[in-house]
Amino acid sequence: MNTTIDPQFPDPLKASLDLAASQNLAEDQTGRTQVLSIISVVLAVVFIALRFLARSGHRGGYALDDWLMLVALAVLGAVFAGVMLMTDHGLGKHRGALTPTDAELVSKSIILVEMSYVIDVTIIKISILSMYYRIFPVRSMKIAAWVLGAVTSLWTILLLFVIGFQCIPFEKFWRPWIVGRCINFKKLILGVAIPNILSDVAILALPLPQIWGLQISCRQKAFISGVFLLGSLVVATSIYRFIVFLRLDMRDLPYTIAPGCIWSLIELSCGVISACLPTLAPLARQTIGKFKGPERICLENENPRLRVREIGGSFSCTRSLAKTDTHELDGQRKFHVNSSRQKIKDWDEVVEEQKIRVVRLVRY
């Protein structure tokens, strides 16, 4: 362990005493940090539970994007646990009110929370891209989802490397008086926030060309786009989180970083909620009962004589020599070809075998 004091750094004890003398040690953000963090995580848990409830009726079962959201929730729990641990040791209080041991523990925990945050953001984005890949059976959409997923993953690996080596030696982050060097922490936050915001915008915009290419009214297009664009709330929270971190004072880290920890959890929770919202339509129809008839994506085969309409989690269609029609069949999916009936194991099989593409949305 390096214990050599940097000659450029003032006496650590004197520096701490001088800082404490200039602070109002009665100021405390601990309670607010705990309450807002708990609310954020509870909302994320509720929406993931609703997502799995809404998807439980699908014959094909849960998909990759659903399981990724569970992983995202687990990592969100790790971030939450880190923040709660820090509040027990002085997060939200001025540096002068903390013992050296507590101040060191808070600084160490910040690094772990920072890494967990970056990982969770990536998992949420990959889950959203997986959902796009599943519900939009269009080659261009699938390629775009793969590209954005690869870029996001590489960005995450790079950031984790930078976070892990932001100080040399590593312990200089929580012992700033020892000999060594650190990169500017605010610049690191900038490097995290800007690519994160740009990728959020790209992911939000990805399905819009497909939606506005549907043969439906502008009102319907706007409504469907609005459901997906509710994710713009994540962009807003990302921007505000970035602004909060720009106010960071490394001399008083436990106090000034507390709002950033709150907004990190809020951003992650908003990401989870935004990823879950498009999947809740079946549950909304069952519980609210506001829809006279369901709206569905109409999927058209490259063969103009075959047309299929998806009906929530189940569908059926009848094929004749002239055309194919559809009707709702509760509880199962059936595919009728030349008056014969056969069950389809999964909607993806129909998409894959028949090369179906999204063309419009219909109400019936």
Query: Could you read off the pLDDT of 37-51 as tens digits, one per residue?
Result: 999 999 999 999 999
CA dist 258 → 32, 107, 182, 308 (Å): 9, 12, 21, 52
Q: How confident is the model at residue 166 (pLDDT cuts 50, 70, 90)?
A: confident
| Other C-beta atoms lying within 10 Å of the C-beta of residue 186 | 13
Bigger pLDDT: 330 or 103?
103
Number of residues assigned to the chain: 364
What's the whole-number mean pLDDT along residues 183-208?
83
pLDDT on residue 295 = 45
d(CA 123, CA 143): 19
> What is the share, in percent, of the chain residues with pLDDT greater than 70?
66
CA dist 60 → 312, 336, 341 (Å): 12, 19, 18
Pairing outcome for strands 324-327 and 316-319: antiparallel
Closest alpha carbon to 106 in 191, 29, 22: 29
List CB contacts of 55: < 8 A, sequence separation 6 or more. Answer: 62, 63, 66, 279, 282, 313
What's the whole-number mean pLDDT along residues 11-16?
61
List CB contacts of 149: < 8 A, sequence separation 6 or more. Answer: 125, 126, 129
Report the first-to-last Cα separation within the chain, whole angstroms: 71
d(CA 333, CA 315): 5
Does pLDDT of 187 surpass 60? yes
SS3 of the chain: CCCCECCCCCCHHHHHHHHHHCCCCCCECHHHHHHHHHHHHHHHHHHHHHHHHHHCCCCCCCCHHHHHHHHHHHHHHHHHHHHHHHHHCCCCECHHHCCHHHHHHHHHHHHHHHHHHHHHHHHHHHHHHHHHHHHCCCHHHHHHHHHHHHHHHHHHHHHHHHHHCCEECHHHHCCCCECCEECCHHHHHHHHHHHHHHHHHHHHHCCHHHHHCCCCCHHHHHHHHHHHHCCHHHHHHHHHHHHHHHCCCHHHHHHHCHHHHHHHHHHHHHHHHHHHHHHCHHHHHHHCCCCCCCEEEEEEECCCCCEEECECCECEEEECCCCEEEECCCCCCEEEECCEEEECCCHHHHHHHHCEEEEEEEEC
Does pLDDT of 311 surpass 50? no
Q: How confident is the model at residue 1 (pLDDT cuts 50, 70, 90)?
A: low
Instruction: Round the average pLDDT of the chain to a whole number and report it.
Output: 75
pLDDT on residue 4 = 57
Does pLDDT of 336 surpass 50? no
Tell me the two tokens of residue 110. 């910040």
Tell me the two tokens of residue 90. 């002085």
At the second CATH level, the architecture of 12-286 is Up-down Bundle (1.20)
d(CA 183, CA 192): 14
| Angle at which helices 100-135 and 139-164 cross, to 10° | 170
Residue intervals in the chain for CATH 1.20.1070: 12-286
**Which of 138-147, 202-211, 271-280 is predicted with the least confidence, judged by mean pLDDT?**
202-211
Tell me the two tokens of residue 177. 């008086």
Bigger pLDDT: 239 or 216?
239
> What is the share, in percent, of the chain residues with pLDDT greater than 90?
30
Torsion of CA 241, 98, 36, 47, to 10 degrees: 80
pLDDT on residue 316 = 39
CA 239 distance to own-chain centroid: 15
Tell me the two tokens of residue 192. 């995290």
